[in-house]
Amino acid sequence: MIVLILALLCSIILFNTQIKWYVKASAAAYYAVLTYFFTTGSNEIERKYHHNGPIEVFWDKNSDYVDMYFGFFALPFLVLLIYSYYLWLKQCKTKLRKLPVVLSIIPVGLLYIWLTIMFSMLGYQP
């Protein structure tokens, strides 16, 4: 479910023809590298602490790790979303053309908030 919502939000950035290709490529490379390091570190924490010792230590380490990476995922993505919508609104010449773009900000904003909450909760103990 989260992958689907993330794909929908990313499509807003990727299919915006106003954003230059090198900005899209830089964002893709940034998130690919960030995801690699996040996943590698998360797997290392699970391997090291999940089966070796108290589960509370695992959850503490995991929470700290997710908190450390949260801003690196969420803030650049928010900047790209705002920039994308800015370019779309700038491209629209009439109010009638701006209306669907402005209306799409509401569900996209809610999805972004929900996604950031879900990501930030990855590290917390159930």
Contact 49, 43 (CB under 8 A): no
74/6 Cα distance (integer angstroms): 11
Structure tokens at 41: 């570190």
Burial of 33 (0-12, 13-18, 19+ CB in 10 A): exposed
Looking at residue 106, its pLDDT comes to 92
Percent of the chain with pLDDT over 70: 90
Mean pLDDT of the chain: 85
Contact 89, 102 (CB under 8 A): yes
How far, in Å, are 10, 77, 90 from residue 27 at the CA level? 10, 9, 22
pLDDT one-digit tens code per residue, 81-103: 899 899 989 988 899 999 998 99
Q: What are the sequence ranges of the domains in the chain?
A: 2-120
The pTM (predicted TM-score) of the whole model is: 0.78
Looking at residue 44, its pLDDT comes to 93
Is residue 27 classed as helix, strand or coil in its secondary structure? Answer: helix
